[in-house]
Amino acid sequence: MERWFRSLKSECLNHLILFGRRSLEKAVREYVEHYHAERNHQGLGNELIEPTAGIGSQAGEIECHERFGGMLKFYHRRAA
């Protein structure tokens, strides 16, 4: 759990200016979605924890999705 909190702080919270509890909750919610569905994990062989359908396709155009105005980025191929 300590490692997860360190990732949350270093990859997300240290780069934001938060205005109250709601903005903190939104930031944590967005980071959790990114962490589980879009971020590669070295301990899992650079795989995703919960990949969505169509992720990992070998054909198709590469797309970039961003969170927090580009602070968190995720690249994948569009499902054919």
Q: Kindly state whether residue 28 falls inside one of the protein's structural domains.
A: yes
Residue 34 lies in a domain: yes
Tens of pLDDT, residue by residue over 17-27, are 889 999 999 88
pLDDT at residue 7, rounded to an integer: 82
Structural domain boundaries, residue 47? 2-55
pLDDT of residue 69: 72
Residue at 62 is within a domain? no
- Total of domains in the chain: 1
Question: Is 74 a domain residue?
Answer: no
The ranges of the chain with pLDDT < 50 are none
Q: Is residue 25 part of a domain?
A: yes
Amino acid type, 60: G
Considering the entire predicted model, what is its pTM?
0.63
Q: Are 74 and 65 in contact (CB under 8 A)?
A: yes
Residue 77 lies in a domain: no
| 70: in domain | no
Quick check: is 60 in a domain? no
Q: Annotate 8-76 with three-state secondary structure.
A: HHHHCHHHCCCCCHHHHHHHHHHHHHHHHHCCCEHHHCCECCCCCCCCCCCCCCEEEEEEHHHCEEEEE
pLDDT at residue 20, rounded to an integer: 92
